[in-house]
Structure 1
Amino acid sequence: MEKKRTKKRRYITGLDGVRTLAVLGVILYHLMPDRMRGGYLGVPVFFGISGYLITDHLRMEWEAKGKISLKAFYARRLKRLYPPLVFFLLTTTAYITLFQRNLLNNLKGAVTSALLYVNNWWQINQGMSYFERFTNESPFTHIWYLSVEAQNYLIWPLLFVLLMKLFKKREKIFLVVFIAALASALWMAIAFVPGADPTRVYYGTDTRIFSIWLGSAMAFLWPTSHLRKQIPPKAKQILNTVGIACLIILIASFFFLDAHYTFVYRGGMVLISLVSVLLIMVVAHPGASLNKWLSNPLFSYIGKRSYGIYLYQYPVMIFYEAKVKNIADNVWLHTLIEVILIVLIAEVTYQIIDKPLSRFDYSKTWSTVKGWFEKPLLTWKKAFLLPGIFLIVTALVGFIIAPSNHVTAEQKQMQEQILQNKKVAEESKKKAKEKETATSDSTAETTSSADAAHLAEIATEYGLSKEDAAAAAKLSFTAFGDSVMLGAAQNMKDLFPDVVVDANVNRQVYSSQDLIQKLADEDLLKDPVVIGLGTNGDFTETQFADFMKLLGDRKVYWLNVHAPSLRIQGVVNSALTKYAGSYDNLTIIDWYNYSKDHSDWFYDDQVHLTPEGRIGYTKLLFETLSKK
């Protein structure tokens, strides 16, 4: 009996338009996080497309042959995804080896986990954060997404076969897969901890696979081979209305759905995934108009190159911003340059890797390689291989010499200072709790004599008069901030003995509310309060308002940020200036302008403080607080 051939599925051109919107959302989220707060939601769109198309293809093969070829399925996926990934890893590693060796640290783990498609779990295990690029700088951060995809490719065909054998009706399979997807979404909601870094639930296959499986579920309910082009006008109108509504909701979410909102992880992301899948279904229907509306040469160009664009976005941003130290001075210009570079590199790789290898017969790999060596020693074609050989050798050298958890002398100095100052900060809180209310006359006299010598020393170190040093010693306030403030903790304790310092690395506004409340509960939240947050990420007006509400009527002094190599500098400083007008008890301390002409105050990152910078930072606090 002659076997049926699998019917060739039509290419849905409108999905290139959907891919374009998704990849633009992701890139602009990284480049302009203040304007595209929800651009990360482009990832669930990609997941939905993948789940729908892969399952639709498996379903068509099953209908034609009564089985699927797992070997052929895995071979197709590897042929499509692996060569561009390997080339990306080679070029990125080679660049790091030649031009940016500070990124060699932990490169072996990043590359190996990427090749094995377990990068998401590797990053989770390493404690890396998707939302704190400043402290987790890596051109491989975004590879977590490919790992989730690949892990689904590994298990889904097996589950598909099992479901097809267990259930005869597509509706039942749809229901089972849909419930499984909702279970994953529920697990995300349970595992998410409000106020904590959401990276675990953001990266985890178990907490993200619902976006893919929602697409897979819909492929059973909405198979492309069963959709008719000729449908009643009313049905067409309904489809178009649903599609347009989904498109509007999706684009709006890109602008407004901040990744730190609790709602995102407790219903928001699954809702956006459903909206994305509904949009995909409408675009896939030949009777609707959205496929035509989202089909144009520009969308086709970007959509076909979306994989390469996604791959090279992070390396371009990391490498470019490492060389250009004044990103914050002209964010729009540098954003445009980076977008152009990303597209150009994606185009080159599309032409030299994606297109040629998509037509290559891998069964002839050995004969092709053998043929190269049977040709004359030197030919023009072989000459073209030299750059490739250089690339591979350079990348291998970098991979071999890459250290694990290596720190430079400067990083070691900063880490030691931070550890020391953490103890100082904790000691300041302990002493505030145990503060003595009285001293004997003799002790007071001895202390007074010792204090006089100490004040003279402090006055000299900070360039103050003895009177100013004495005035500083009487100031009492709470200082709450991130690693920049933590770096100056000892200096603050020296100049302001009665200060309470609560500062730590990676701290942001959205995750600090519980910490502020704890200080208040322990009677350690003095009046005034000095805040030093904003280096690790910006904040919404709502997050800022919630934070200020916890501080009550206390006088608040908020330091703006000095981070010229980060585009976030202008965003945070502009927001602080804007919000200050709404609070009578809020004063912005202009750390940026005070420090911008003192390059010796900062380490190479232009953010963290050298010994000279700590003195300048602390002196500015005195100059501001003494005017209150």
Structure 2
Amino acid sequence: MKRAEWRNQQMAKKTHKRRYISGIDGLRTLAVIGVIVFHLAPSALQGGFLGVPIFLVLAGYLVTYFMLLDWDNERSLHIWAFLKRRISRLYPTLVTVLVATTAYITLFNRSLLTNIKATLATNLTFVYNWFEIGHGQSYFDRAMGESPFTHLWTLSLEGQFYLIWPFVIILLLTITKKRWQSALILFVGAIASAVEMAILYDPNNINRVYYGTDTRFFALLLGASLAFIWPIHKLSENASKGSRLTFDGVGLLLMLGMIYYYITMSGSDAWAYHGGMFIFSLLATLFVAIIVHPASHWNQWLTNPVFTYIGKRSYGIYVYQFPVMIFYENSVKSIGNHPVINALIQVAIILLISELSYRYIETPLKHFDWHQLGASLKNPTRAVTAAIMAVMVVLTFVGMATKPEQSTADSLKKTITARQAAADKKNQKAELLQKKQAAQAKKFAHNRKLEKQAIKHLSAKKRKVMKEYGITAQEMVTLQHTPLTSVGDSVMIDISGGLQQLFPGAVVDGQVGRQMDAAQSIVQQMASSGKISNNLLLNLGTNGTVTSDQVEAVMDAVGKKCDVYWTTAYVPNRSWQNEVNSTIIAASKKHKNLHIIDWYSLAKKHPGWFTSDGIHPNNTGVRYFARLVAKSIAKDKQ
């Protein structure tokens, strides 16, 4: 190389000096806190899942910016060196969480070994998000035997981005003359991705749009488009006081907008998929632009020892948090009674494991020379770390080689799907019967003579049902003439068979993973179209909290002539159990037509009534739950 060329190259490198933005660690901290709070207590921050788009926007921006910086310095991209850096950044911690989690379930929770080979293989090849579309459960189902690997779908999305992005950058730089043109192409691509999400959105199966690379790529593309027009090293520090105030003010508005979505956006709300997540990602992208600009104070405001500490460890905190939470919830069955204490314990465990991983896995292996492996094992700390990893790897292979039991989630899905199909089949007949029942209810009200005649003529089939559920003849007659509309989640589907045996006119509307915000709109639609009978049974609170405002909205929708029966929630290993129950009990004191059916008080005395998740009733639990509902309503109607 000629001396003049070498000098110019060195001058270019000095000109394009990389500036570390410590406020980025602060933004990562806000993202990971949102995700953890959402997983621990969805009701406390229902939009906390939006921390993921923040991570994706940052990945898109920083990766693209540093690629463009290398291109400007050397007029080329060292693709293999880039991929090597990214793999060495992702793989050590990813492999650790995969083998540690698999080792744990091999020893303590073998039902989760179902599909373990495919789960490990797709994670290691960065296609796990597509595997989740076909085999995983909804990210928002909190009571269906959650997988400790579900959250890793984001790493597959990032891995796919890293693999294709150098080639995309080269193509863009080849076909465009101006950087803003490349940014525009990427922005249009982001819009196309968001539009595809809106078109493909199916409320009954959100997995396709939630996990799909094509429908979630918009956050990465928005961050990447910013890198083309907002390179850190070209942002001027010379700014007037007015400009600084403008930057700070816009940053404040963006922060408030993001907080608003954190608080209000629900993953079960159609709006999230019809532009909500895209708008949030756009706000996050603009906020990144504010943070990295030297004229703004937001870099300084988001910089402090706590944020720096968490931000640097945010990758480890993210990947370890879900396995810790799921294993803790499966082991501690009384989380609902002490949600705050248990949440703090879980956070402490996550931080401890993340710190150990950061010190002994993530940092040492980031630039590790594998040719020096033998020599490095002479270090006692590294030798112990290697020995622990070796044991976990052995247990992982044992788990892979062992024939797994059917997973809790798969078993529940199979059972609930069958019960849902049976309920749907009976719903059509029940809807026709309800009008007749409403007239009969008035006729039989307080008419003992008619009751005695009805009791005398109860069929053998009805008497068999009475015996099975422990229902008296008088109660059975009352139930025969009581129309019932029921709305709930997977637990409602569980008891649907019993309800429809006891209430011939019972219409059951249940859905796996249903939360209160979705149920509220369903009840309001049913009420406005006259599809709710005079008796409404609600079983909600399994998958998240219920607010007093939501209860009031439901009661306003159904009116005072409809008797509402609300079952208390029994989710002992979820933090929101007591909050749900206290909310609906408080509401019942305000509304005379709101009646509480206390499933919680009965269920907590009988842990043997439940499947292994401690939430869904088994056949015995189903019978007693349906019996409790029937006796409670019959007593109220007599």
TM-score using structure 1 length: 0.88
The superposition leaves residues 93-117 of structure 1 with CA deviations (integer Å, 9 ceiling, x where unpaired) of 1111112212111222222111111
The superposition leaves residues 248-284 of structure 1 with CA deviations (integer Å, 9 ceiling, x where unpaired) of 3223332222223333222322222122122212221
Q: Which residue of 1 aligns with 2:34?
A: 25
Quote the Cα distance in structure 1 between the aligned partners of 2:150 and 2:601.
33
- Select the residue among 530, 533, 546 that pairs with 2:537: 530
- Select the residue among 301, 304, 309 that pairs with 1:293: 301
Tell me if the contact between 1:425 and 1:489 (Cα under 8 Å) persists in the aligned partners: no
Quote the Cα distance in structure 1 between the aligned partners of 2:179 and 2:228.
6
Quote the Cα distance in structure 2 between the aligned partners of 1:342 and 1:146.
18
Which stretch shifts more, 261-270 or 494-503? Answer: 494-503
Quote the Cα distance in structure 1 between the aligned partners of 2:401 and 2:135.
20
- Select the residue among 197, 201, 214 that pairs with 1:188: 197
Tell me if the contact between 2:430 and 2:504 (Cα under 8 Å) persists in the aligned partners: no
- Which secondary structure does the structure 2 equivalent of 1:168 belong to? coil
Tell me if 1:353 matches 2:361.
yes
Q: Which residue of 1 aligns with 2:79?
A: 70
Give the alignment of 1:70-149 within 5 angstroms. 70-149=79-158
Tell me if 1:164 matches 2:163.
no
- Which secondary structure does the structure 1 equivalent of 2:486 belong to? strand
Tell me if the contact between 1:108 and 1:402 (Cα under 8 Å) persists in the aligned partners: no
Quote the Cα distance in structure 1 between the aligned partners of 2:201 and 2:431.
34
- Which secondary structure does the structure 1 equivalent of 2:217 belong to? helix
Tell me if the contact between 1:129 and 1:136 (Cα under 8 Å) persists in the aligned partners: no
- Please provide the CA RMSD for this pair: 3.3
Quote the Cα distance in structure 1 between the aligned partners of 2:323 and 2:107.
14
Quote the Cα distance in structure 1 between the aligned partners of 2:389 and 2:232.
41
Tell me if the contact between 1:29 and 1:36 (Cα under 8 Å) persists in the aligned partners: yes
Tell me if the contact between 2:485 and 2:535 (Cα under 8 Å) persists in the aligned partners: yes
Q: Which residue of 2 aligns with 1:321?
A: 329
The superposition leaves residues 535-561 of structure 1 with CA deviations (integer Å, 9 ceiling, x where unpaired) of 233456676566556645432212121
- Select the residue among 470, 483, 493 that pairs with 1:476: 483
Quote the Cα distance in structure 2 between the aligned partners of 1:369 and 1:382.
10
Q: Which residue of 2 aligns with 1:442?
A: none
Q: CA deviation at 1:473?
A: 3.5
Q: Which residue of 1 aligns with 2:268?
A: 260
Quote the Cα distance in structure 2 between the aligned partners of 1:67 and 1:231.
33
Give the alignment of 1:259-278 within 5 angstroms. 259-278=267-286
Relative to 1, partners in 2 of residues 1:302 and 1:48: Cα closer, same or farther, differing over 3 Å?
same
Tell me if the contact between 1:429 and 1:501 (Cα under 8 Å) persists in the aligned partners: no
TM-score using structure 2 length: 0.87
Q: Which residue of 2 aligns with 1:433?
A: 432
Tell me if 1:334 matches 2:342.
yes
Quote the Cα distance in structure 1 between the aligned partners of 2:187 and 2:508.
50
Tell me if the contact between 2:93 and 2:357 (Cα under 8 Å) persists in the aligned partners: yes
Relative to 1, partners in 2 of residues 1:592 and 1:279: Cα closer, same or farther, differing over 3 Å?
same
Quote the Cα distance in structure 2 between the aligned partners of 1:87 and 1:522.
54
**Structure 1: 5+ residue stretches without partners:** 439-445
Relative to 1, partners in 2 of residues 1:39 and 1:421: Cα closer, same or farther, differing over 3 Å?
closer
Tell me if 1:368 matches 2:377.
no
- Select the residue among 242, 246, 265 that pairs with 1:238: 246
Relative to 1, partners in 2 of residues 1:382 and 1:557: Cα closer, same or farther, differing over 3 Å?
closer
Tell me if the contact between 1:188 and 1:207 (Cα under 8 Å) persists in the aligned partners: yes
Give % identity.
37
Which stretch shifts more, 292-301 or 583-592? Answer: 583-592
Tell me if 1:605 matches 2:599.
no
- Select the residue among 610, 616, 621 that pairs with 2:629: 621
Give the alignment of 1:402-551 within 5 angstroms. 403=404, 406-407=406-407, 415=414, 419=418, 422-423=421-422, 426-427=425-426, 429-430=428-429, 433=432, 451=458, 453=460, 457-503=464-510, 505-512=512-519, 525-538=532-545, 551=558
Q: Which residue of 1 aligns with 2:394?
A: 393
Quote the Cα distance in structure 1 between the aligned partners of 2:267 and 2:364.
38
Quote the Cα distance in structure 2 between the aligned partners of 1:325 and 1:106.
26
Q: Which residue of 1 aligns with 2:182?
A: 173
- Which secondary structure does the structure 2 equivalent of 1:75 belong to? helix
Q: CA deviation at 1:421?
A: 7.1
Tell me if the contact between 1:535 and 1:561 (Cα under 8 Å) persists in the aligned partners: yes
Relative to 1, partners in 2 of residues 1:437 and 1:565: Cα closer, same or farther, differing over 3 Å?
closer
Quote the Cα distance in structure 2 between the aligned partners of 1:534 and 1:380.
47
Quote the Cα distance in structure 2 between the aligned partners of 1:263 and 1:565.
30
Q: Which residue of 1 aligns with 2:604?
A: 596
Quote the Cα distance in structure 1 between the aligned partners of 2:171 and 2:103.
44
The superposition leaves residues 144-195 of structure 1 with CA deviations (integer Å, 9 ceiling, x where unpaired) of 11111111112222111111112222222222222222222222233234x4
